[in-house]
Amino acid sequence: MNPSAKGWIAKFGHIIKDQPQPYSTFEVLYNSLRLNGFVYGFNSNLPQSVKKSFDYSPDEIAKINLINALYYTFAISKPENDYSDFSKDLLSFYKTLEFQNKSIWKRLTGGMDKGGKLEMLITERVQIGENMFARSFQKSIANALLFVDVLTFKAYIERNVEVKTYAADLENIIINISFNAGSHISKHGNDDLGKKYSALFKESYFFSRSKTGVNKENKKFFDELTDAEKRYLIDLTCAICYSDYDFSEVDKTFVSNLVREMKMDEIMGLESMNVIEQFYAQNKKLKKQVSGSNPVFNFYDNSSVYIVKLIQRNKSRIVKEVQHSKELMSLIGKSRKRALTIEEQKKIQVLLLDILKTIPSFAIFILPGGAILLPLFAKILPNLLPSSFDDNKI
């Protein structure tokens, strides 16, 4: 099977057609995907259902892992259905999730069969080598954490959720917890990753000061998470805390608090820590990659650079729009001197979004999940446009 050639989706269906079901439950499937690194965002190992027939690149492995995870999620939930039903449901799912990107669907209307359409969609989803902000924010996070697609598809076929809302909510919780977990890393070392997470977390007025970083807006969704979704969040947290290849007492306490807030058995946190240690022990070469190639760990750097470029390119337009809002000018000025109140924080969010909606280049902020970047925008803006926020200007 060659994931870079036409027909590979159909070939995958042919390969698994006569195979016995290797995963009796979703939990068994999840554990397999966790051990091969897919759950953590790494693409170095193939699933057990696919034999290695080429020297696959990371993006090809990601494609195989993604279609394998999606198919067996479907097969476990709907054992009476066949591969054709899976292809139909998956195409419908991605059409709903990706509908905002009309250019994709224009390319899918040229007489292409279901397999061809899915191949194009999977390729669009898996673009590991590209800058994560070359595409929409929501899509970039899903590319960094492809397992979000799997959980969203599972919720779609089992609970008929509104997929864009579900994916955006889950992604926001992931970023919340990830940033807060990162802030704990810097407390017991000079880990650069921890400092990057902590810097953004401290500037963010969307995150509560809870021990897990789950804000009130996400709390209702957080309480309604399934066990599979909670397990994923705990595993992701452990992966971040283990970025320096050790779990300190601070890390263990953080994980324990998260497990407790999720109302899960404490043994789940211990098991998650054991599995990530086992994963790195079996994949020692990944230690060199963990701070450089994992898209989650590059989030802060990529977003900072991207927003700086956006502000610089649209400097005159931003100044004009901001200066028209005396209230926003006042709030940004206050934020440079003291911490804003909760009411002021919410107000500045609304005012910033109103302005960004008028500038096409900043459409990223109004896409699902895009608001997570607003704290970074609010932090960078005064520094790049100092004359507009000069308290001593005459």
pLDDT attached to residue 190: 39
Residues 141 and 220 in one domain: no
Whether 157 shows a pLDDT value over 90: the answer reads yes
Cα dist from 312 to 207, 353, 372, 380, 381, whole Å:
27, 18, 20, 11, 10
292 vs 17: which has the higher pLDDT? 17
Please give the full DSSP string across 78-127, using - where no structure is assigned: -TTS-HHHHHHHHHHHHHHHTTT-HHHHHHT-SS--HHHHHHHHHHHH--
Residue 3 has pLDDT above 60, yes or no: yes
Give the total number of structural domains in the chain: 3
Residue 235 has pLDDT above 50, yes or no: yes
- Per-residue pLDDT of 42-95, as tens digits, reads 777 888 878 887 788 888 888 999 999 999 999 999 999 999 999 999 999 988
The answer on 277 and 150 residing in a single domain is no
- 179 lies in the same domain as 274: yes
Is the pLDDT at 176 greater than 70? The verdict is no
By residue range, what is the domain housing residue 339? 300-389
Check whether residue 26 and residue 150 sit in a common domain: yes
Same domain, 172 and 233: yes
Helix 216-223 and helix 163-185: axis angle, to 10°?
110
Using the predicted structure, report yes or no on whether residue 386 has a pLDDT greater than 50: yes
Q: Could you tell me if 171 and 139 lie in one domain?
A: no
Res. 198 pLDDT band, cuts 50 70 90: very low
In a domain, 293, yes or no: no
Q: Is 109 within a domain?
A: yes
Which pLDDT tens digit goes with each residue over 82-131?
Answer: 999 999 999 999 888 765 455 555 555 556 777 888 888 888 777 644 43
Instruction: Assess whether 140 and 180 both reside in one domain.
Output: no
CA distance 73 to 213: 29
